[in-house]
Amino acid sequence: MTALAGKHIVLGLSGGVACYKVAELARLLIKAQATVQVVMTEAAEQFITPVTMQALTGRPVYGSQWDAREANNMAHINLSREADAVLIAPCSADFIARLAQGRADELLSLLCLARPSERVPLLLAPAMNREMWAHPATQRNLAQVQADGATVLGVGH
Ligand SMILES: Cc1cc2nc3c(=O)[nH]c(=O)nc-3n(C[C@H](O)[C@H](O)[C@H](O)COP(=O)(O)O)c2cc1C
């Protein structure tokens, strides 16, 4: 029995090469008896397929806020309310910028903004090259999302 057993994790993938690593992360979360619901940005789907993520997690992947599979058509509400935590891995520089601004123009940022933040923590695993990471705009956005309550895990370069 692990601390993750029975936990429901919304695993959000944004666009970056490190998406390949998140396939293994999903496998390990499942092995630890968590349930994993994958949500991918359009850019993430350029790096790894929803098919791979569905096969690893045993659940269809969500990618659009207009997904009619949800009876009330509100995937952003349903997915975020069911979660014990939302983990964005990899978290792109652009995604951090969108979070910092409170943007909600696609499903993943929308569900982050719409989640009940008092009980559903937001964890970010940034992955980008050293230049993007060191840029003052990225550091400014990181400081903002942390001030807004997100937990930033170590960066992957
Ligand atoms: C080959 C390639 C690799 C990329 N790798 C990264 C990366 O590691 N980290 C990052 O922040 N952006 C990376 N980008 C840029 C993002 O994919 C781009 O900013 C995208 O708009 C992010 O969209 P999203 O945040 O909606 O997923 C890469 C782009 C390309 C073409």
State in Å: Cα 92 to ligand 1 middle: 6
Residues in a beta bridge with 149: none
Backbone angles phi, psi at 86, to 5 degrees: -110, 125
Atom from ligand 1 closest to the CA of residue 95: 25
Residues in a beta bridge with 11: 38, 87
Cα–Cα distance for residue pair 27/119, rounded to 1 Å: 25
Cα–Cα distance for residue pair 17/40, rounded to 1 Å: 14
What pLDDT score does 155 carry? Answer: 84
Cα–Cα distance for residue pair 120/47, rounded to 1 Å: 27
Select from 2.40.30.10, 3.40.50.2000, 3.40.50.1950, 3.40.50.300 the CATH code of 8-16+32-85+92-152: 3.40.50.1950
Identify whether the C-beta of residue 145 lies closer than 8 Å to the C-beta of residue 125: no
What pLDDT score does 157 carry? Answer: 85
What pLDDT score does 28 carry? Answer: 97
Closest of 15, 66, 6 to residue 36, by C-alpha: 6
Could you tell which of 38, 94, 98, 142 is best to mutate to test the pocket of ligand 1, judged by most ligand atoms within 8 Å of the CB? 94
What pLDDT score does 75 carry? Answer: 87
Q: How confident is the model over 33-51, as pLDDT tens digits?
A: 999 999 999 999 999 999 9
Six-digit token string for 128: 């980008």
Low-confidence ranges of the chain (pLDDT < 50): none
Atom from ligand 1 closest to the CA of residue 43: 27
Q: How confident is the model over 73-91, as pLDDT tens digits?
A: 898 889 999 999 999 999 9
